[in-house]
Amino acid sequence: MPLPTDEKLLALSNNLIQQFDTIFGEHPSFRPAHAKGTMLTGTFTPSAEAASLTRAPHIVRESTPVTVRFSNSTGLPLVPDTDPNANPRGMAIRFNLAEHSHTDIVSHSVDGFPVRTGDEFLELLRALASSDLAAPTDPKNPKPIEIFLGGHPAALAFVQTPKPAPSSFGRESYFGITAMRFTNADGVVRYGRYRILPEAGNEHLDDAAVAAKGPNYLFDELKERVAAGPVSFRILVQLANEGDVVDDATIHWPEDRRVVELGTIALTAPVADDAHEQQRIIFDPIPRVDGIEPSDDPLLELRAAVYLISGRRRRSESAQ
């Protein structure tokens, strides 16, 4: 996972990390976003139709070991699972292809993203940091975040999208933010976005049920769930049609687009020494594998740089 050489991109990445630190406080041993998490191990098994979409190595093998991290949103390591700001939840999947060889999927529980570019995301974070969210709304003196959302309809739609708390990490759906370029053995290319659906089905809680839960209910429930049996998900790809926009994470494709099933993952055990491994592992939003390549979405290189820079910071803290 190389660090980009574009100085503007690196500066933007560092500014984003600094802005997360401003909002949530400095927690260098943790991720600047989705700080609270846990990891499980398991196996990916490709579907019969997956090879029609991609020739990627984990698709042509009988099975591949995986490492999966579930997380809450925010950069607060102790954010209660019951806090509305803990949504959207995150799910990152690492396909362990060989020693020092892997490809990843990074997803969250909302289909889409509030902005198209990194500069817009930085503007959003700065508006959020400079707004007193506890103060009542004053139409004559709008908060910076209200001004930003008023000028960015996609961000407003993302904020207003319902984000109910799940009963379990294993009963939530997750979505790839950006489109990928899939190529099969015959050289046929299609663009698509990941969808990761729980085999147990979706289940969300109302406000009263959430209020009755403890601050770590999702993490406690996940331990009990995996101890009782595999936690399974289907990995799907929603395909773009000719003419669909494939480089803008704020644009949703219609639901009538074809969906291909890549396969299933079955998670069977917690990761040993979970806290240490969470500091060490750096997920990569860029696939970097033959058969699955990044689209031209401008968020991809930026996210990869942010993950790598913040990951090196975590590792440095761990070493100390």
Q: Is 307 annotated as a binding residue?
A: yes
Cα–Cα distances (Å) from 271 to 29, 67, 120, 173, 188, in that order, read 18, 8, 36, 22, 37
Q: List, in order, residues 6 or more apart from 275 with CB less than 8 Å away.
A: none
Cα–Cα distances (Å) from 319 to 25, 84, 276, 314, in that order, read 21, 33, 10, 9
Beta strands in the chain (DSSP E): 37-46, 64-71, 90-98, 101-108, 174-176, 180-183, 189-198, 231-239, 259-270, 292-294
Omega before 88 within 30 of 0, i.e. cis: yes
Does residue 313 come out as left (phi exceeding 0), alpha (psi in the -120 to 50 range) or beta?
alpha
- Which positions are catalytic? 34
The CA distance from 45 to 95, in Å, is: 11
The CA distance from 308 to 304, in Å, is: 6
Tally of residues, the chain: 320
The CA distance from 196 to 265, in Å, is: 10
**Eight-class DSSP state of 3:** P
If you write DSSP's letter for every residue of 124-190 in order, what string do you get? HHHHHHTS-TTSPP-TTS--HHHHHHHH-HHHHHHHHS--PPBS-GGG--EEESS-EEEE-TT--EE
**Number of other residues whose CB lies within 10 A of the CB of residue 261:** 17
Which residue ranges are tagged as binding site? 307
Which residue ranges are tagged as binding site for heme? 307
